Amino acid sequence: MMDFLVGEPQYILGIQNQGRVYIYSGDSTLVRIDYSDNDFNILKSFQIIGNYPNPFNDTTTIQYSVITRGDFYINIYNISGQLVFQKKKVHSAPGKYTMTWNGIDGRGNGIPSGIYLVSMIFEENDSNPIKIVLLK
């Protein structure tokens, strides 16, 4: 991989074989761009960073980042893949954000202890999910 600065100093562009370009920002945001014939397409412009504490009992804080403005959905699924909670987030600026979740489903009911998956959706694209653990 070859690294060099692009634009502002906090961004590093890494070029790898097989037509992939990776941009790393100072806050660990990763954007992958596939290219061919000088045509660039941003594949991932958002990500779930993690949560704390994990495992959690009452509440957890979910960290995520976006590099474009728009309407994002944070989804929480049980281990069977059923959606248990969804929150729409609207962002007018790129950056790191947090959301607190208290282990309540979309109907306001407490959910049982277990493993849950958190992902984001933006323009019908999913982020890679992270695993969180609720212990009661």
CATH 2.60.40.4070 is the classification of domain 46-134: yes
> Where in the chain are the domains?
2-42, 46-134
- Residue pointed to by tokens 């992902």: 119
Per-residue pLDDT 10s for the chain (136 aa) are: 333 334 443 444 444 444 455 454 555 445 554 444 443 334 356 788 899 999 999 999 999 988 877 888 999 999 999 999 999 988 878 888 999 999 999 999 999 999 999 999 887 777 888 999 999 8
Two tokens, residue 39: 């045509």
Q: Is the pTM of this model over 0.85?
A: no
